Amino acid sequence: MIQRKKLTIFMDAKDNTDIYEVKKMIEGIIKIPPKDQMLYTKDHEVMEDDKTLSEYGYTTTIARAQSPGFIGLALRQESGEFEPLSLEAYSTPPELPYVMKNNDCSETTN
């Protein structure tokens, strides 16, 4: 799962895919060349082009369709500098109404 601001891209890649190849896949979607992309791990560490996804801990046992691995994306601005990593949080669902919450079966009411 690649995320930048409110943009989220879901991709499938193998453990041994290098970061440059991930950037090429992103280029195919958003039309921004790899040299103008900076990728970050979930810990906000910059990912190097010559390393693989598995070197950053993204393996098939960790990143799956049901629980995708997170990668942050920042793009180069017109000034030549990369924008700061900006991620918009997903909205959180409202709390369940009382009638829908699990009731403790051992409790009895009189």
CA nearest to 38, candidates 10, 94, 67, 76:
76
Residue 19 vs residues 50, 57, 61, 91, 109: alpha-carbon distances, Å: 6, 12, 19, 29, 60
Return the bridge partners of 37, or none.
75
Per-residue pLDDT of 3-60, as tens digits, reads 999 899 989 899 999 999 999 999 999 999 999 999 999 889 999 999 999 999 998 8
Token match 């103008």: residue?
36
Domains of the chain with CATH codes: 1-110 (3.10.20.90)
pLDDT at 106: 46
Of residues 107 and 81, more confidently modeled: 81
N- to C-terminal Cα separation, the chain:
51
CA nearest to 11, candidates 24, 23, 2:
2
Of residues 93 and 8, more confidently modeled: 8
Per-residue pLDDT of 5-14, as tens digits, reads 989 998 989 9
pTM of the entire predicted model: 0.76
